[in-house]
Amino acid sequence: DQQVKQNSPSLSVQEGRISILNCDYTNSMFDYFLWYKKYPAEGPTFLISISSIKDKNEDGRFTVFLNKSAKHLSLHIVPSQPGDSAVYFCAASERGSGGSNYKLTFGKGTLLTVNP
């Protein structure tokens, strides 16, 4: 069973417009959420995160929104740039007993293409 779901395998947007990447989760024990960006032949790199005690976190062009009641989060990129073209992974961490919150559960990723 997939606990973190990214239902859109791909997304294409025009440069300068907004990119919205979505993620749904099923595990109510998740209390920390992260977005990673991955270029081909490279490892994922951390982009932005949000704790479940917040509903929004912003870092420059990137904003993550969390809707706990809907178990949904989204990543907004404004304005989108061609260099943002990559695979974006949503990940979640569960508050763990005995300090096991280091495990991240990942979605399958969404390939974002930003066209010039």
Partner 1 sequence: GAGVSQSPSNKVTEKGKDVELRCDPISGHTALYWYRQSLGQGLEFLIYFQGNSAPDKSGLPSDRFSAERTGGSVSTLTIQRTQQEDSAVYLCASSLVSGRYGYTFGSGTRLTVV
Q: How far is the CB of 91 from partner 1 (least distance, A)?
A: 8
Q: How far is the CB of 43 from partner 1 (least distance, A)?
A: 3
Indicate the burial class of 7 (C-beta count within 10 angstroms; 0-12, 13-18, 19 or more).
Answer: exposed
Cβ closest to partner 1, residue 65 vs residue 106: 106
Rounded to 5 degrees, what angle do the CA atoms 28, 56, 63 make?
115
Cβ closest to partner 1, residue 88 vs residue 114: 88
Q: How far is the CB of 15 from partner 1 (least distance, A)?
A: 27
Instruction: Write the CB contacts of 41 (distance below 8 Å, at least 6 apart in sequence).
Output: none
Cβ closest to partner 1, residue 67 vs residue 100: 100
From CA 31, how far away is CA 95, in angstroms rounded? 6
Interface ranges with partner 1 (CB under 8 A) = 2, 4, 6, 32, 34, 41-46, 49, 89, 91, 93, 99-109
Q: How far is the CB of 35 from partner 1 (least distance, A)?
A: 12
For residue 94, give the nearest of 37, 41, 30, 11 by alpha carbon: 30
First to last CA, the chain: 38
Cβ closest to partner 1, residue 19 vs residue 109: 109
